[in-house]
Chains A and B, each alone.
Chain A
């Protein structure tokens, strides 16, 4: 039996979790105050994931970059590869919140979407 102490990152409460594992499998999550905490605890010790937020270049927009995020969480070890992939992207204005900037980034199954509107530069 093995235990790990974690801080849940789902919300600002930052609950202190204790995850108990047996032979690589999670048997118990304690300290969470909501169901999200339980699933975070389980995921964090087996396959930790994160939402990645960044920005990409915009051509012809009223601002030079547009903020983006992965539409769902991706494995933590893919963060570096995703950032490298985003560096090669440039989009044309106008951009609207939710526009897909890059489909299925690095084979994670997650699309990268815009998180702000960018109007065409006048």
Chain B
């Protein structure tokens, strides 16, 4: 049986950055398992630009950004297996067993000290949206359409309606338009867009594509192929308002209605998942509830920016390396752990827990708010003491925010069981 120190599940941006970082920290016996036929993950189909502004201080397209990491991994001789599907991860006495499969090796049973989960996320499909109407051809998730157009060279349709204003939907509105399709409207259930402001400007406004907020699809017509959809306005409880129905003839409906971390393997392994993020609950070292199993990237929580994925994955890689270097050394198992409690407008934070003694001098917490807020303070309280206070002009659920905490602030309050993060009126 093959024995490894570290197995990374997924060869997308998170898996690559995690592997590179672990290798740089001296973990030589490692392996990436990737189910696609090439490394790079979803970046390969994200041919638009805007990637890498933080990481490389220049604007790259998705494939270019991926290639930088693929090249670095090659330079470091990080081993990987493609077209390999991981079926199961289990743990026994600290050692983990990864069961995977591919055409060449057949069934693989691999032992490893540590695992990094980097499986990414997937799109919410029609079945999860409860849209009434027929089930004709012509309904795709935005990401499927993106792959068809950008990698396989097919146009999925000519007249398009898009439901959901997440970034992929916005990007695809522009992409389909540039390829000659007519994008008639983007409908968004919520009263605000789920995508970045810049994408609303350069993907919709540039092409005069209307964005209808507080609108949803209430009917899909067409027996063989979509012939049209009916939109309706929704009230504050997101229920369609009778009398506001409007028919749009189209041959294609794209869905961009949210991304869900792909955590079947994690759940099966018994890893504690967050109901809010659908990703693992992690501590400051990005370690899940199962010791030696780390998570990063979109499998942990859905990011807006790959730059932040790379940064997070790099940390997961170095914490995994640290775990491997200290393997079986009787570390203090029971360490003081704080919970980060999100309150008042903050939906979640990652990490969710902090062990101050294991914390580096500074720790970045990422979070999302639950609605659009203007001129609010982001505050963090350690008991009655406020340890972070910063004003933000505007915050929206579609844009991930962050705060940086100092180790010294937390170690100054020993015994505390939680810190509180909330929004406060200016």
Contact = CB atoms under 8 A, between A and B. Distances in A.
Interface of A: 6-12, 14, 50-55, 57, 63-65, 67, 69, 76, 79, 83, 97, 115-117
A34 to B, nearest CB: 11
Contact of B150 (A14, A65, A69, A79): A65
A53 B47 contact: yes
Contacts of B103: none
Contacts of B305: 12
Given A51-B49, A97-B64, A65 B153 contact: yes
27 contacts: A6-B201, A7-B201, A11-B198, A12-B50, A12-B304, A12-B399, A14-B198, A14-B201, A50-B206, A51-B59, A54-B47, A57-B153, A63-B151, A63-B152, A65-B150, A65-B151, A65-B152, A67-B150, A69-B49, A69-B61, A76-B206, A79-B178, A97-B63, A115-B60, A116-B61, A116-B67, A117-B67
Interface of B: 44, 47-50, 53, 59-61, 63-64, 67, 149-153, 178-180, 196-198, 200-202, 206, 304-305, 399
A7 B200 contact: yes
Contact of B196 (A12, A51, A116): A12
A94 to B, nearest CB: 14
B198 A8 contact: yes
Contact of A67 (B61, B180, B196): B61
Contacts of A65: 150-153
Nearest to A52: B178
Contacts of B50: 11-12
B198 A7 contact: yes
Nearest to A11: B53
Contacts of A54: 47, 178-179
A120 B285 CA distance: 42
Nearest to B37: A62
Top 8 A-B residue pairs of the complex, sorted by shortest distance between their CB atoms: A14-B197, A116-B63, A67-B47, A9-B198, A65-B153, A64-B153, A115-B61, A14-B198
A69 B198 CA distance: 19
A76 B61 CA distance: 19
Contacts of B197: 7, 14
A102 to B, nearest CB: 15
Contact of A83 (B149, B178, B201): B178
A57 B151 CA distance: 10
A8 B201 CA distance: 9
Nearest to A84: B180
A9 B180 CA distance: 24
B202 A9 contact: yes
A14 B150 CA distance: 26
A88 to B, nearest CB: 14
B44 A116 contact: yes
